[in-house]
Amino acid sequence: MNKQLSFDWTSDDEYCEKYGNNWSFLNTERNEDNDEDFWNMSGGCGKNEFLDMKKKYDIIEKQHQFEMEMELVAKREEKLIEQKKLFDQRQQQEKRQLERKLAEFEKQQAEFLRQQEQKQSEIQKKKKSLKRKRVEVEEMDDEDFKRLRKRIKRERKKRKNEKKERKRKREEEEERQRRLRKQKEKVERQKKLLILQQRQQKKKQREKLKRQKKKQREELKKQKKKETMEETKERQRKEEELKRQRKEEEEERQRKLELFRQKMSQQKKKAKKKVVGEKESLIRTAKIVLRETGLPMTGYEIYKIGYEMRLHVPGGDTPWKTMASKLYVDCLMENSIFRSLGNRTGLFKLR
């Protein structure tokens, strides 16, 4: 019993009330060795009752499959009927088109026959008139025949003159049309020449404007170049002046620091070391050094003078960097007593 049933076994309320909803035994493979265990897993139902229920649901499943197949057959029949209807409609359209073409052909054939009959009737009339004239000529005497010949000659001459006149008029009309065509061609040539001249004038004007604009641009570039050169010279002069001032200030500061060091070495001032926290001692050292010197100083200079004054200074490989970082962090506070003179200079002073 390896097959899983595709329907819901719990839909049978009577069986569920009697044996419960435990249908997991149906998915278990049935072997000869575990027959008793298999039927004990069914929740207490007997073998005969189980087989009856299985037959019942097998019949239901077959009925369902049969109904599905019948629905498929019905759909196929409907599709075939629709295809047949479309085929019949197409045949009717083709039949109507053929009937229409046949009616048109019959109409054309009738028109052709009518024209043929009309031509035949005209030919018969002409034959009858010629026959009648021949009879009249045979019955005429010599004088009447002579008058008829003269009249025929006059008519022929008249027709010939009319033909010549028509030909002359036609030639005159053709000559007039030829002259008109020549005049039109001449006017068109003149128009084309005018258009070409206008285009050339516009082209010359555009080239002239381009030259003028180019000249103006070049003049503007030269002017801007002169202005930029003057500006760059002025800026360079200001930068050199600023550098010179900074250099002088730095020299003055270094000179004052050197004087302070000399004074300190002469007095041999010694400061006792106090055991306090690192941050407070570094800020105290910087405060004492800046107050004594009265000059803006870098972290390295504060460290050197503090070291010479035997104040508390940081240790390590680069203690002046530690000093500068502590002072820069302290400058960011609102209640700080120090002020930084720019990020690039690295100078500190008291507020």
Which stretch of 109-123, 151-165, 327-341 has the lowest confidence by average pLDDT? 327-341
Residue 209 confidence (pLDDT): 92
Task: Say what the pTM is.
Answer: 0.32
CA dist list (Å): 58 to 27, 52, 62, 200, 247: 16, 10, 6, 99, 107
Residue partners of 201: CB distance under 8 A and separation at least 6: none
Write the DSSP assignment of 43-65 as a string of letters: SS--HHHHHHHHHHHHHHHHHHH
Share of the chain above pLDDT 70, in %: 81
- Range 106-129 average pLDDT: 89
| CA-angle at 222, arms to 218 and 225, nearest 5° | 135
Residue 236 confidence (pLDDT): 87
334 φ, ψ (degrees, to nearest 5): -70, -40
Residue 175's identity, in one-letter code, is: E
**Whether residue 44 has pLDDT greater than 80:** no
Q: Give per-residue pLDDT as tens, 150-195.
A: 888 888 999 999 999 999 999 999 999 999 999 999 999 999 999 9
**Whether residue 271 has pLDDT greater than 50:** no
- Range 216-231 average pLDDT: 86
Residue 63 confidence (pLDDT): 87
Residue 45 confidence (pLDDT): 55
- Range 280-296 average pLDDT: 82
Residue 285 confidence (pLDDT): 85
**Whether residue 19 has pLDDT greater than 80:** no
Residue 291 confidence (pLDDT): 86
Q: In this structure, are residues 285 and 306 in contact, taking their beta carbons and an 8 Å threshold?
A: yes
Burial group, residue 301, by CB count within 10 angstroms (0-12, 13-18, 19+): buried
Q: If you average pLDDT over every residue of the chain, what do you get?
A: 79
Q: Give per-residue pLDDT as tens, 205-222.
A: 999 999 999 998 998 888
Q: In this structure, are residues 310 and 271 in contact, taking their beta carbons and an 8 Å threshold?
A: yes
CA 96 to CA 66: how far, in whole Å?
45
User: Does residue 90 or residue 145 have the better pLDDT?
Assistant: 90
Strand order in the sheet with 297-298: 297-298, 347-350, 338-340
Which stretch of 185-199, 268-282, 327-341 has the lowest confidence by average pLDDT? 268-282
User: Does residue 97 or residue 36 have the better pLDDT?
Assistant: 97
Residue 315 confidence (pLDDT): 80
Confidence category of residue 343, pLDDT binned at 50, 70, 90: low
**Whether residue 325 has pLDDT greater than 80:** yes
Domains of the chain, by residue range, sit at 271-350
CA 284 to CA 306: how far, in whole Å?
10
Confidence category of residue 246, pLDDT binned at 50, 70, 90: confident
Confidence category of residue 38, pLDDT binned at 50, 70, 90: very low
Residue 128's identity, in one-letter code, is: K
**CB hemisphere CA count around 222 (13 angstroms):** 6
Which stretch of 49-63, 92-106, 331-345 has the lowest confidence by average pLDDT? 331-345
Share of the chain above pLDDT 90, in %: 25
268 φ, ψ (degrees, to nearest 5): 50, 55
Q: Would you put residue 178 in left (φ > 0), alpha (ψ -120 to 50) or beta?
A: alpha
User: Does residue 215 or residue 262 have the better pLDDT?
Assistant: 215
Helix (H/G/I), strand (E/B), else coil: 272: coil
- In which residue are the tokens 């109507």 written? 96
Expressed in percent and rounded to 5, the helix, strand and coil fractions of the chain are 80, 5, 20
Closest listed residue to residue 295, CA positions, set 252, 266, 325: 252
**Whether residue 106 has pLDDT greater than 70:** yes
Q: Give per-residue pLDDT as tens, 51-70.
A: 788 788 888 888 888 999 99
